[in-house]
Structure 1
Amino acid sequence: MATSSHPTLVIIGGAKRIGNVCARVFSQQGWSVFLADTDAKALKAIKETLGDKVDTLSPSTITTNIGLNNILSGAMSAFGHVDAVCHIPELPPAKNFGDIKVGEFEEKIIAPARSITAALRIFSDQMIKQMEDMDPAAAKTANPSFVQVFGLGALYGDPGAYSQHVSQAMALAAAKAATIDLAAQRIRTNAIIAVRPRAENEEPWLKERTPLGRHSFAEEISQAVAFLTSDGAANMTGQSIILDGGRSTLNGVCNLKDEEES
């Protein structure tokens, strides 16, 4: 087993956009990065760009106990420890309430909440073991943490996007419900809720309901992840940073379309 002297971040999912940029941001800040995604092609491109600064794994699934245990094993084999986990659950296709079938609900809608719950359990067990093996003084300064990245569906729904709203809201609830138990073990868990690029591309009308008129850039989301895993956020847990261009606060207060025409 290799052992890295640098802090290690495990990124689960998001290899094409957010995970890709997050790997670059953290590697530039001196972290070792282990990125797992089912998209082997995207991982190959990241590896070619970042080289030895990142290690990758492309399991057949990143939502089951088996897949997540394989990710932990890969990270431990590559770097010897895990200090933070960034979990980016996949957004299901947007579907109306009436178009959701029960079997599909079980298979796709619940999957992100189940995956986050499993990841919190599997990786927190490793973090606890690491702190138990540390010198007591070093253990007191350890700052293990989880960050989950959600779309705005975690807060509220949009027309025709019942599937995304319930999936993301359930996943956020699963993450927050673990906060108290993990805090007792000195492990933090926080979330980022953002207008993710895919949602903007699928629903152009979002611009008219977002005061700043755009989605969150992957670079902005990655910098927020970097803050939440830093010592500067060491007293934050159970919180959500909202990167929505003012939509949740100002939606309905101003009409961008009218302002552009005036």
Structure 2
Amino acid sequence: MTSSSKGPVALITGAGSGIGLACARRFAAAGYRLALLDIDPKAVEAACAALRDSGTEALPFVGSVADETAVESAVDAAEQDLGPIELLINSAGVASNKPTFELSLADWERVVSINLTGTFLVSRIVGAKMAARSRGVILNLGSMFGTVAAPRRAGYCGTKAGVDMLGRVLAIEWAEHGIRVNTIAPGYVRTPFVDDLIAEGRMDEPALLGRTPLKRMAAPEEIADLAIFLASDAAAFITGQTIGIDGGWTAYGYV
């Protein structure tokens, strides 16, 4: 994307930790000014404080991506303080790992509201502003589990498959408005959350690494590196795509 004299503006959801935070750091290093939205006030405040210490203009916003009023307020305030949002990264999401017979309606509605409805809401609100300026890039965080199925993940697989298709629809609908939309589909990523699951015995690391052709998990920074490419003018003819970054997991057809 073409930078202004002050640097382009990006809004990143779920930016208090994990992939969202890695993206914030990577885009800060590339000269972006950042609006970070997260449900955790302490995490997003700490993220912005660290970014400001490194010389990046970063503003924290607290709210759920499933709350239309909160999203509208954050977007309006971000554009008033920083300027037009040129890049949106929909990174906010929650896991859901439970046998389907035990998956309550409340469990289902929670993962749908954040992973799918949240992506839709933020995209629609920011996309309308981008369309008025005939320029913008939207990157959604999907998952390899939006492509391949896994047991105990009906809510997660269902919503990530929905994010994949939502991105394709928006890409072809909004192309005439100068907006590119792509989805990044990571495999297992070594985040603090994943480290905690491994430490608690709730995730079988040797089995996961054994199933992954590259025999390791991704680093959050590798997801951010893909995002920086897709946001750049080097990717100007790429839209409506879901790009896997899973160490070969979805290509591997054997158990």
Q: TM-score range by the shorter chain?
A: 0.7 to 0.9
After TM superposition, the score normalised by the length of structure 2 is 0.86
Q: Which amino acid aligns with 1:158?
A: A
Corresponding residue to 1:85 among 84, 88, 104:
88
Distance 1:60 1:31, change over 3 A: closer
Pair 1:193-2:185 in alignment: yes
Which residue of 2 is the match for residue 67 of structure 1? Answer: 70
Name the structure 1 match of 2:51.
Answer: 50
Q: Aligned residue for 1:183?
A: 175
Q: Secondary structure at the match of 1:84?
A: strand
What one-letter code is carried by the residue in structure 2 that aligns with 1:114? Answer: T
In 2, are the aligned partners of 1:194 and 1:221 still within 8 Å (CA)? yes
Match of 2:123 among 120, 137, 142: 120
Question: Is the contact between residue 87 and residue 137 of structure 2 (CA under 8 Å) also seen in structure 1?
Answer: yes
Q: Please show how residues 25-174 of structure 1 align to structure 2 within 5 Å.
A: 25-51=26-52, 53-131=56-134, 142=135, 144-174=136-166
CA deviation digits over 1:61-100, x for unaligned, max 9?
Answer: 2222112112211211221111010001312331122111
Q: Distance in 2 between matches of 1:200 and 1:49?
A: 23
RMSD of aligned alpha carbons = 2.1
1:22 alignment partner in structure 2: 23
Which ranges of structure 2 fall in alignment gaps of 5 or more residues?
A: 198-202
Q: SS of 1:58's equivalent?
A: strand
| Contact 2:44–2:62, Cα closer than 8 Å, also in 1 | no
Match of 1:250 in 2: 252
Task: Write out per-residue CA displacement over residues 103-152 of structure 1, whole angstroms, 9 at most, x where no aligned residue.
Answer: 43233334421111112211111112234xxxxxxxxxx5x110011222
Distance 1:47 1:57 in 2: 6
- One-letter amino acid matched to 2:162: M
CA distance in structure 2 between the partners assigned to 1:4 and 1:65 by the alignment? 32
Answer yes or no: is the 8 Å Cα contact 1:215–1:245 preserved in 2: yes
What is residue 229 of structure 1 aligned with on the other side? Answer: 231
- In 2, Cα distance between the equivalents of 1:48 and 1:38? 17
Secondary structure of residue in 1 paired with 2:95: coil
Say whether the 8 Å CA contact 2:38–2:92 is kept in structure 1.
no
Determine what percentage of the aligned residue pairs are the same residue. Answer: 23
**Aligned pairs, how many?**
240
Q: Mind listing any 5+ residue stretches in structure 1 that lack a counterpart?
A: 132-141, 254-262
Name the SS of the counterpart of 1:242 in structure 2: strand
- From the superposition, tell whether residues 9 and 210 of structure 1 become closer, same or farther in structure 2 (CA, over 3 Å): same
AA in 2 matched with 1:32: R
Segment of structure 1 superposing worse, 32-41 or 158-167 = 158-167
Once the two structures are TM-superposed, the CA of residue 40 in structure 1 deviates from its matched residue by 1.5
Counterpart of 2:210 in structure 1 is 208
Following TM superposition, by how much is the alpha carbon of 1:200 offset from its aligned partner in structure 2, in angstroms?
5.2
What is the deviation of 1:4?
7.0
**In structure 2, what residue type is equivalent to 1:44?**
E
